[in-house]
Amino acid sequence: MSLPLMRWIEPDPTDERDLTRFASLRPLTVRLLLRRGIQDLGQAYDFLSCRAGEDDPARLKGLPRAVERIRQAIRRGEKIAVYGDFDADGVTATALLTETLDALGANVIPYIPDRVDEGYGLNIPALRELWKQKVRLVVTVDCGIRSIEEVREANRGLQLIVTDHHRPAEEIPPALAVVNPKQPGCDYPFKELSGVGLAYKLSQGLLRASPPAGLQEEALLDLVALGTVADLVPLVGENRALVRRGLDRINNAARPGIEALMADAGVRRGAVDSTAIGFLLGPRLNAAGRIDDAMIAYRLLRSSEPLETQELGKQLGDLNRQRRQITEETFAAAEAQILDRDPDAFLLLADDPGFPPGIVGLAASRLVEAHYRPSIVVHRGDRESRGSCRSIPEFDITEALDCCRDLLIRHGGHAMAAGFTVATANLDALRARLVEIAATRLASTELKPVLEIDAELALDRVDETAYALLRQVQPCGMQNPEPLLLARDVEVRERWAMGNEQKHLKLILRDRRGIAWPAMFFRHGHILDDLPDRADVVYSLEYNEWNGEKRLRLLLHDLRPARPS
């Protein structure tokens, strides 16, 4: 196999004038800041302290009207439903807003649709059922912005407030109030809030209008951190500020449900960061809606009973282990179908009636990881089929779906992830059109993932101080990635495959001082025989704890045969 596996964008040499501009900061910190577009010392301190970003919720178009109507419903004793979504963002948003409304004395119930039976977003049978339960005001979280017909139908007996962070279509739903920073006419400065982030802004508006005795805004930030990180929205600006404060809350005063998640995942208090949420806690919350009932995750987050949260946390852990196994099976089947059909297509689409609806998005992500193409996995039904899409930075998948709206029943999402429902009779036509769109837009693109390297740091300069400097850019995520470092001409002293089916690589690397560094290269066991004896490596750093001992180790992202600097 040819190494490197990715396209490396190496850091430019740091100009001495840049180091002078940031004279009070370490050179490594300066390189990290420059890579993130920070241009002066004021911006640097705002970024490092996470001070920038939070804004007045009243600046969100529609939010003052939403606050006024909800307060009116509380005064009148009207029954309110919070209508959410079955992923971690939607579940945390539902938990956050119902907690706020409970504290304000509202008569409130949660509603999260079933992924298999109802699918994503508002649906008319569910709204009719809520009306039968005497609900008269429905507040959506993390959904509804493209539910034009559903809102129009619901207006015959209900009033709706739509809060949603997804990209709107040309028409905005005719709800009583729509809260979405991406909608036309909204001058809220930060456009990338998550669903739970928007629910938090609505809660801020409510709590500031009528402060209850028992709930502070700060107590909701643990839910904001969970949902925001799990939803893969950009971790910049206000999102980063909210997540930083939410992580502090989790690590110092986590609610019982989050403590139970941490216990099942083996994460101790004080060790929760965005990586722990993204790889350990978030998947457990998502597992409920993927293969069972999202209300399990909701109940966990709202419960204050230790025995109940312990049992629910264990249940989510069991579901997550099942989810991993089903994902592997679905990915293998989808990949086999694609390799048999057209492995060189610019867009990959696999469909089967046996693909579980809750897993297709994860399988699509694995296809992108393996083949670096926009990928779609579809649960094919008799009359209707549901697909989940994952993409690459070079291809806006929701924009591509917009070009196919005449073939679709509904669709929505972001540039990198989307979902749709299509009449099964139109599935082949949809595949052909999407492949054609991708071929047109990607024909001149080198389809190989990019590694943007932050700084060059030889292994003999790696120590606890360097690790602490790297941690300054946390929390990391989309658009603020984990810092990547380059070390040249490293000796690959030992190497072996490990883990289930020998999928992972463990290496011992030796620096110029002769000091051995343990390194992991996850999901790359297949390149064991191609490893050079001396290599340039792109890596990040983490602390690994084993038998009570903590030691720095390298996480490899790519490598190549050593070449002159």
Contact (CB, 8 A) for 517 and 554: yes
Residue ranges in 57-184 assigned as alpha helix (H): 63-76, 88-103, 124-132, 148-154
User: Would 95 be classed as within a structural domain?
Assistant: yes
- pLDDT of 474 > 80? The answer is yes
Please report the pLDDT score of residue 548 as a whole number. Answer: 75
Angle at 497 between CA 493 and CA 500, to 5 degrees: 155
Examine the fold and report which residue of 253, 280, 299 is the final residue of a domain before the chain moves on.
Answer: 253
Please report the pLDDT score of residue 191 as a whole number. Answer: 97
Whichever domain contains 26, its CATH number is: 2.40.50.460
Examine the fold and report which residue of 227, 253, 279 is the final residue of a domain before the chain moves on.
Answer: 253
- pLDDT of 15 > 90? The answer is no
C-alpha 8/C-alpha 452 separation (Å) is 6
Q: Are residues 247 and 357 in the same domain?
A: no
Please report the pLDDT score of residue 20 as a whole number. Answer: 80
Per-residue confidence at 500, pLDDT binned at 50, 70, 90?
Answer: confident
pLDDT tens figures, 374-396: 999 999 999 999 999 999 999 99
Per-residue confidence at 212, pLDDT binned at 50, 70, 90?
Answer: confident
Angle at 394 between CA 454 and CA 54, to 5 degrees: 60
Please report the pLDDT score of residue 565 as a whole number. Answer: 62
Q: Are residues 75 and 191 in the same domain?
A: yes
Q: Are residues 122 and 248 in the same domain?
A: yes
Q: Are residues 113 and 158 in the same domain?
A: yes
User: Would 337 be classed as within a structural domain?
Assistant: no
Q: At what angle do helices 306-341 and 256-265 cross, to 10 degrees?
A: 50
Q: Are residues 213 and 129 in the same domain?
A: yes
Bridge partners for 555 per DSSP: 520, 540
- pLDDT of 80 > 70? The answer is yes
The sign of the CA dihedral 189, 192, 197, 198 is: positive
Amino acid at 198: L
- Of the listed ranges 113-122, 220-229, 256-265, the one predicted with least confidence: 113-122
Q: Are residues 62 and 165 in the same domain?
A: yes
User: Would 358 be classed as within a structural domain?
Assistant: yes
- Please compute the mean of the pLDDT values over residues 404-409 and round it to a whole number: 97
Of residues 523 and 322, more confidence is placed in 322
Q: Are residues 43 and 92 in the same domain?
A: no
Q: Are residues 30 and 153 in the same domain?
A: no
SS3 assignment, position 224: helix
Per-residue confidence at 359, pLDDT binned at 50, 70, 90?
Answer: very high
Q: Are residues 95 and 116 in the same domain?
A: yes
Q: Are residues 412 and 352 in the same domain?
A: yes
Please report the pLDDT score of residue 411 as a whole number. Answer: 93
Question: What is the extent of the structural domain holding 165?
Answer: 57-253
Whichever domain contains 190, its CATH number is: 3.90.1640.30
Average pLDDT of the chain is: 95
Examine the fold and report which residue of 213, 233, 253 is the final residue of a domain before the chain moves on.
Answer: 253
Per-residue confidence at 21, pLDDT binned at 50, 70, 90?
Answer: confident
Give the pair of three-digit tokens for residue 47. Answer: 């970024």
Q: Are residues 98 and 222 in the same domain?
A: yes
Q: Which helix (H) or strand (E) holds 466?
A: helix 464-471
pLDDT tens figures, 305-317: 999 999 999 999 9
Please report the pLDDT score of residue 544 as a whole number. Answer: 86
Q: Are residues 154 and 102 in the same domain?
A: yes
Cβ-proximal residues to 341 (8 Å cutoff; 6+ apart), any chain: none
Bridge partners for 162 per DSSP: 140, 178
pLDDT tens figures, 176-194: 999 999 999 999 999 999 9
Per cent of the chain over pLDDT 90 is 88
pLDDT tens figures, 415-457: 999 999 999 999 999 999 999 999 999 999 999 999 999 999 9
Cβ-proximal residues to 180 (8 Å cutoff; 6+ apart), any chain: 61, 62, 145, 162, 163, 164, 165, 166, 168, 186, 198
Please provide residue 550's backbone torsions phi and psi, each rounded to the nearest 5 degrees.
-105, 135
